[in-house]
Structure 1
């Protein structure tokens, strides 16, 4: 992409005349940067250039107290960075580090300042909009790490992106290379894997030390002189992008039983992450717990794993993680435990000769679980969606799913997820059904919004797939987002349900606490507070016909749509 074409699509340059772009083109130089180097660091003096990315990817970094460097933004082709100090004369408020080999156009300071004479909006853009945005962003990062006793702790690995831990460059070979050459290359480079690429440099396979041993060394029916990389490789390797998080990679690698994960950006291998890379970082309790979940063979194994969640929560909070991040990670762990419990119960059903019917089905989770906002003692809110099988098969389907559902909810309870007092669980026929059955129920909830149906809807609308065919959940979500925005009266009834409750504040400004029972003298932060914020944000989301998982993500989307301003959000 040419410099002029790039800048024409970007603020504040989009309204400038051709002769100014011609001057930029004439003065700019192209500089190549290798992967994983800092183009400049936070607090460095200005280099005198505006950087426009011609090809590649750059991370914008910020340092929290104690020297912890965190990735706060990404810039790719067509985007620019480093312009603010040209007009302010101040040091860089953040660093810029390449994710992979990157080419940049460097526009000199003097050209931009000459342009400023006729187009003062250049200075206004960089000094007002960009600077305030960046300073606010870094202020948030610093505030999150303000506890002096903990500032020397390395940033929690769950927050690290794969671009920060991956090994690069990646060793590659072509499909025709011999096994002997592959072994020599791996030995000389000191690597345990390499990628096989096609003529365009795109990865088409992976070879690990285990593949060499199993398919060459240990095999008696192989001609070791003629077997090639194409014969040995595992085709279509599992991969992730560099902006994904470490905890995602950890779970992904465990789920697929792999120890080497290529990192791919736009069909180009930019790095590789091994299980050893993941495990060498400190604060491994949460990741190890997820690993233990994957390895659990019995319900009792999961009981032992579930008992560790309190310790993990303490670890997360001691490492200066925000409450929102801690909550999402805990939800990820809870989902992993519930999913593994489902697999164990399903396997047990099969061993008893109870074969699942040949239909698509999905176990979904609702409420705080569906929003990824689970804390330490969540109860159960779950259901089943089936594909639209004919009525004649109902008896056959029930013969499997009724006992399966009973076993499932009691297994969940044994692991540590209490039965729902409102019976919002798969063993209640109300929470099982075909896709068309669910569509009928939702239509009825909306058409006749009685208090109990409104209560059901507030739990249900935060649903997400947990196991099985997730496309069934997506089909149902599409139906909800088509149906609800057209029925404002239903949204009014949802609002009215919340308005019946008063904030727990008395006439003199004191908290109104429980008058009796086991919680006498106490205040429920959920039932008397946060539940109404969650409900309010959900109603706005449904009205707009959008989807986002967590309440915070929903607020972000509502700001983008100008439904709420940033201050209100």
Structure 2
């Protein structure tokens, strides 16, 4: 018999994210477990300090106030949730008590969604996981801004404060505007907008603004067949045009756009339609200028039309990273978000570079990000490590094909350098013919490294074994991974050699538990946190994961978490290593941002006693896991 209540709940949920990202069967299964809860007006759903519930909530009818509790005990509303809004998500991310109050503003019906039912689906569904992750980690924006509507709420009041009085700042004005007369046809206006790659055009007469036409107007009128393309644009323009002077603030612009249901405002000399147009303000540009929301930054990256714009967005990503660290958001969340933004930037650059080539790629290819980006651990601006695989071609076409991809790689690496990723000193980049190879050539190269490993080959393996596809045909990267694991299975000796290499950097502490610092060079007396602490854990996690044939996990912390499942007897050690890897990466990132460098070399004089103690606790995990590797791979202490 059909469960009509569950069906009605599912029918409601499907219109709101993240439930709109779930297939019908799963959504119905979730709906069967949902409880329908009724609250009278001014009743508490949960209070600050209360233990997290086993469910989160979505408003079906009514409204809920989210309230911050001030130091004097008074409550202050920081957000309002109405139909379709979700709140109370903290139990999904952290086993902590609530940090705010949730109280009904009127009679309210809530759907209570069990965490135990929803969490497995969120973890298995990438789109749902990304939505939850971005929404949870990005709530540094003002809660009353329009983009907040429909987003998930992390229940963290400190993150819901206005960022540096953002909405009192001046609006970003685009001064290079495109104008046309009212008699211009829709066809000609659309062609002009397409040529200039813009989404709006100002209609003027005697240089005075009459109206605005946007892509939305074309969709509503032309695409629906209501008007022909030879109709004058004055028939579809939004008029009268809303005008302001250049002193317009972001808050004023947002309120004006909401009031008049528009997404563009004209800037004129005196703020009226009676003077010449000086610029235009769009809702999109306001959102991008805020720069503290991953989804906004992602959209900006995908729309960026120049390397210069990508560089500006990259700077905003660094501000986002700094904000996350200041808010003490877990590094697991930070790493995933920054990785996705970095990856999107790489994709955008490659896409634009392909467009600049005279011809499309001759065959399928894959662009691989290596090292820290491949492990989803690249937070700061570091050297770029990358490689390129292209499909096999006949021998007589091999060099021509390689030359095409080398030219493409040169364009891509050049632009990555412009936005902040310096060239690899060892030239481990796709623009190097050594690392721009066909599928068969890459397989042969990895076979050589594994079957006859020398010092150089082991070093290369430590970099190339940690890769992630950033662009192209995943079939090539997956096929190469399968080949690598098969070769390792056939040549067991390789793991012992790799394990010996993982011990080349001993514990970072010397006699009397003193930090081992650089003895010479420009960084003399500085502590090399990458070489002495991060790399030993990275190397240990890699070789132990390879020994268990663990695929599709390259992040160091996640590798150790998986190892904790595979070796219950060493669970505590592996979880300590996972924690240490995240703590060390966070520590390096903080100092890198502070000193505006890679964070690799630490001045011990700048550290507090507490910081030194925390570092030494992390170093204990390095020694213990290296001792384990010696036993597991039967490595002689004299090697």
Who is 2:393 aligned against?
389
1:54-203 counterparts in 2 under 5 A?
71=89, 164=152
Alignment pair present for 1:360 and 2:364: yes
Q: For the structure 1 residues 349 and 293, does the alpha-carbon distance in structure 2 shift closer, same or farther, using more than 3 Å as the test?
A: same
Q: Partners of 1:30 and 1:378 in 2: how far apart?
A: 47
Aligned residues of 2:370 and 2:464 also touching (Cα < 8 A): yes
Q: Which one of 530, 539, 551 corresponds to residue 556 of structure 2?
A: 551
Q: For the structure 1 residues 393 and 565, does the alpha-carbon distance in structure 2 shift closer, same or farther, using more than 3 Å as the test?
A: same
Q: Partners of 2:329 and 2:50 in 1: how far apart?
A: 31
Q: Partners of 2:451 and 2:566 in 1: how far apart?
A: 28
Q: Which one of 287, 304, 311 corresponds to residue 312 of structure 2?
A: 304
Q: Partners of 2:530 and 2:110 in 1: how far apart?
A: 49
Alignment pair present for 1:541 and 2:529: no
Q: Partners of 2:314 and 2:504 in 1: how far apart?
A: 37
Q: CA deviation at 1:302?
A: 2.6
Q: CA deviation at 1:449?
A: 1.4
Q: Partners of 2:403 and 2:457 in 1: how far apart?
A: 28
Q: What secondary structure does 2:152 align onto?
A: helix
Q: Partners of 1:281 and 1:414 in 2: how far apart?
A: 21
Query: Matched residue pairs, number?
Result: 373
Q: Partners of 2:383 and 2:509 in 1: how far apart?
A: 28
Alignment pair present for 1:461 and 2:468: no
Who is 1:192 aligned against?
none
Who is 1:13 aligned against?
none
Alignment pair present for 1:426 and 2:414: no
Alignment pair present for 1:451 and 2:459: no
Q: CA deviation at 1:458?
A: 0.9
Q: For the structure 1 residues 161 and 489, does the alpha-carbon distance in structure 2 shift closer, same or farther, using more than 3 Å as the test?
A: farther
Q: CA deviation at 1:404?
A: 2.2
Q: CA deviation at 1:285?
A: 5.0
Aligned residues of 2:291 and 2:317 also touching (Cα < 8 A): no
Q: For the structure 1 residues 364 and 436, does the alpha-carbon distance in structure 2 shift closer, same or farther, using more than 3 Å as the test?
A: same
Q: Partners of 1:486 and 1:64 in 2: how far apart?
A: 60
Q: What secondary structure does 2:485 align onto?
A: helix
Q: Partners of 2:452 and 2:101 in 1: how far apart?
A: 56
Who is 2:292 aligned against?
284
Q: CA deviation at 1:450?
A: 0.7
Alignment pair present for 1:342 and 2:360: no
Q: CA deviation at 1:152?
A: 10
Q: Partners of 2:140 and 2:312 in 1: how far apart?
A: 32
Cα-to-partner distance string for 1:451-487 (whole Å, 9 max, x where unaligned): 1111111111111111122221122222223332443
Q: For the structure 1 residues 93 and 486, does the alpha-carbon distance in structure 2 shift closer, same or farther, using more than 3 Å as the test?
A: farther
Unaligned runs of 5+ residues in structure 1 are 3-28, 52-62, 76-90, 106-144, 146-150, 166-207, 222-258, 260-274
Aligned residues of 2:405 and 2:436 also touching (Cα < 8 A): no
Q: For the structure 1 residues 392 and 323, does the alpha-carbon distance in structure 2 shift closer, same or farther, using more than 3 Å as the test?
A: same
Aligned residues of 1:366 and 1:463 also touching (Cα < 8 A): yes
Cα-to-partner distance string for 1:63-101 (whole Å, 9 max, x where unaligned): 9998996525669xxxxxxxxxxxxxxx999999xxx99
Q: What secondary structure does 2:387 align onto?
A: strand
Aligned residues of 1:357 and 1:396 also touching (Cα < 8 A): no
Who is 2:443 aligned against?
439
Who is 2:636 aligned against?
none
Q: CA deviation at 1:524?
A: 1.5
Q: Partners of 1:74 and 1:421 in 2: how far apart?
A: 43
Q: For the structure 1 residues 211 and 356, does the alpha-carbon distance in structure 2 shift closer, same or farther, using more than 3 Å as the test?
A: closer
Who is 1:328 aligned against?
336
Who is 1:502 aligned against?
506
Q: What secondary structure does 1:508 align onto?
A: helix
Q: CA deviation at 1:412?
A: 1.9
Q: Partners of 1:475 and 1:161 in 2: how far apart?
A: 43
Q: Partners of 2:406 and 2:289 in 1: how far apart?
A: 45
Alignment pair present for 1:517 and 2:521: yes
Who is 1:478 aligned against?
482
TM-score by length of 2: 0.49
Q: For the structure 1 residues 213 and 481, does the alpha-carbon distance in structure 2 shift closer, same or farther, using more than 3 Å as the test?
A: farther
Q: For the structure 1 residues 446 and 31, does the alpha-carbon distance in structure 2 shift closer, same or farther, using more than 3 Å as the test?
A: closer
Q: Partners of 1:444 and 1:65 in 2: how far apart?
A: 63
Aligned residues of 2:291 and 2:316 also touching (Cα < 8 A): no
Q: For the structure 1 residues 298 and 45, does the alpha-carbon distance in structure 2 shift closer, same or farther, using more than 3 Å as the test?
A: closer
Q: CA deviation at 1:384?
A: 0.7
Q: Partners of 2:219 and 2:141 in 1: how far apart?
A: 38
Q: Partners of 1:280 and 1:296 in 2: how far apart?
A: 11
Aligned residues of 2:308 and 2:419 also touching (Cα < 8 A): yes
Q: What secondary structure does 1:385 align onto?
A: strand
Aligned residues of 1:409 and 1:427 also touching (Cα < 8 A): yes
Alignment pair present for 1:416 and 2:420: yes
Who is 2:170 aligned against?
none
TM-score by length of 1: 0.54
Q: CA deviation at 1:429?
A: 1.9
Q: Partners of 2:357 and 2:34 in 1: how far apart?
A: 64
Cα-to-partner distance string for 1:376-420 (whole Å, 9 max, x where unaligned): 221111111111222221132023123222232222222211111
Aligned residues of 1:302 and 1:415 also touching (Cα < 8 A): yes
Aligned residues of 2:301 and 2:313 also touching (Cα < 8 A): yes
Q: What secondary structure does 2:501 align onto?
A: helix
Aligned residues of 2:389 and 2:436 also touching (Cα < 8 A): yes
Q: CA deviation at 1:515?
A: 1.6
